[in-house]
Amino acid sequence: MKIKWFGHSCFLLTSDNGVNILIDPFDVSVGYKLPEVAADIVSTSHEHFDHNNTEIVQGDFYHVNKTGTFSHKGIEMKGVATYHDEVNGEERGHNIIYKYIIDGLHICHCGDLGHTLSEEQIKQIGHVDTLLIPVGGIATIGPEQAVDTIKRLKPSLVIPMHFHTDVLNFTLGKLEHFLEKIGGGHHLGKQEIEFDKNTLSNLPSNVMVLNYE
């Protein structure tokens, strides 16, 4: 499978047989170049402008924006209810963590997770091979909580997201703060990473930093 990062929290997951899943597309005000992509499935973790711009997606697609279990074109998905803040959504509302099973791999996208996960939420998420996790703080969990979440979910691969970059039009914490807390990572130097169940353990690091276009 392939994982492509468009910046912020937006990723395109592509299965071996070509099914495309677009996650949390943003609008032009965020600062990154808008993705120009067709998708079979689009998931949105919550209804904020930097995560729910489904209007840019080309073609007919299956939209997932609720908790529960879903299946489309051979892709199994599960949405787990969480919050965008540490006060049960009173400040920023609700958030959904989605886990996708693609080519036998369990890919988990945390959306704008804003708090430490409960044991029940950890149980609901279950096994995770690859974790896409916010690390920039301010509007989500920061480096310390991200590292704690990683230790508890125990993924083989972590891809950080939702941190400050030169093109982002608002302030988030820097990626380097997270990398210091977790003990380093590998900058892939490109936008896309490809692996399968056999090659996942052979990557240069269990923390891989992707480039945005």
Residue 109 has pLDDT above 90, yes or no: yes
Residue 180 contacts by C-beta under 8 Å, 6 or more apart in sequence? Answer: 143
Residue 16 has pLDDT above 90, yes or no: yes
Residue 213 has pLDDT above 90, yes or no: no
- The stretch 17-30 carries a mean pLDDT of 97
Query: CA 104, 147, 158, 34: dihedral to nearest 10 degrees?
Result: 110
Residue 63 has pLDDT above 90, yes or no: yes
How far CA 21 is from CA of 1, 11, 24, 173, in Å, comes to: 11, 8, 10, 27
**Contact 139/115 with Cβ under 8 angstroms?**
no
Beta bridge partners of 130: 107, 157
Measured distance CA(28)–CA(51) in Å, rounded: 11
Confidence of residue 113 (pLDDT cuts 50, 70, 90): very high
3-state class (DSSP) for residue 194: strand
- The stretch 108-129 carries a mean pLDDT of 98
- The stretch 9-38 carries a mean pLDDT of 97
Confidence of residue 145 (pLDDT cuts 50, 70, 90): very high
**Contact 91/85 with Cβ under 8 angstroms?**
yes
Please report the pLDDT score of residue 181 as a whole number: 98
Percent of the chain with pLDDT over 90: 100
Residue 154 contacts by C-beta under 8 Å, 6 or more apart in sequence? Answer: 128
Sign of the dihedral through C-alpha 32, 38, 42, 48: positive
- The stretch 54-73 carries a mean pLDDT of 97
193 exposure class (CB count in 10 Å sphere: 0-12, 13-18, 19+): middle
CA angle 174–78–61, rounded 5-degree value? 85
Residue 146 backbone dihedrals phi, psi, to 5 degrees: -65, -45
pTM, full prediction: 0.97
Segment holding 151, helix H or strand E: helix 143-153
Beta bridge partners of 185: none
- The stretch 172-176 carries a mean pLDDT of 97
3-state class (DSSP) for residue 173: coil
CB atoms within 10 A of CB 132: 27
- The stretch 102-107 carries a mean pLDDT of 98
